[in-house]
Structure formats: structure tokens, C-alpha cells
Amino acid sequence: MSDSHGNTPAAWTAVGVMFLGFLISGFAVPAEKPWLFFVGLAVVLGGAVVGKVMSMMGMGSTVTYKDAHDPEYDDHNRS
């Protein structure tokens, strides 16, 4: 099994922050607070930035798309 399924601190943090943003935006719609809706969207975008920064800091996956589809990679990882 490949290590590139998003089980990294960067991925979990990004998803957590984005989930919070969706909750904020979702609450804002029935509460009729347009400004809060856009705050939630900003939090979602912030989550994407936080995830990317954490990934660049080395807290993301080390397996790249090219590695996972390289024939030599497949020969070493078959069961």
C-alpha cells in the first residue's frame, strides 16, 4: 500500500481547518449573515494555504505521483 493517501499532519490540519470553514459558512446561511458566510470561505482558503505551507515544511507526503507510477517502484512494492 502506498504512503500517499493523505495520512500526514499537513493533510489532517488542512482538512480540519477547511471543515471549520464549511461549518461557519453553513451556519451563516440560515442565520442570514452574509459577512459570516464569506468569513467561512476565507477560513476554507486559509486551510488550503496552511496545508500547503505545512507540506512544504516537510510535514506532507514524501511519495510523489511519479514515484507511485514508476515501473521500478511497482516492482519493489508488489505483494
pLDDT in tens, 10-55: 889 999 999 999 999 999 999 999 999 999 999 999 999 999 999 8
Q: What is the rounded CA–CA span in Å between residue 77 and residue 70?
A: 11
Alpha helices in the chain (DSSP H): 9-31, 34-54, 65-68, 71-76
Domain residue ranges of the chain, discontinuous segments joined by +? 9-57
Q: What's the confidence (pLDDT) of residue 1?
A: 46
Cβ–Cβ contacts within 10 Å for residue 63, how many? 13
Q: What is the rounded CA–CA span in Å between residue 57 and residue 49?
A: 12
When comparing pLDDT for 64 and 52, which is higher? 52
Rounded to two decimals, the pTM is: 0.71
What is the pLDDT confidence band of residue 58, given thresholds at 50, 70 and 90? Answer: confident
- DSSP letter at 32? T
Cβ pair 24, 3 in contact under 8 A: no
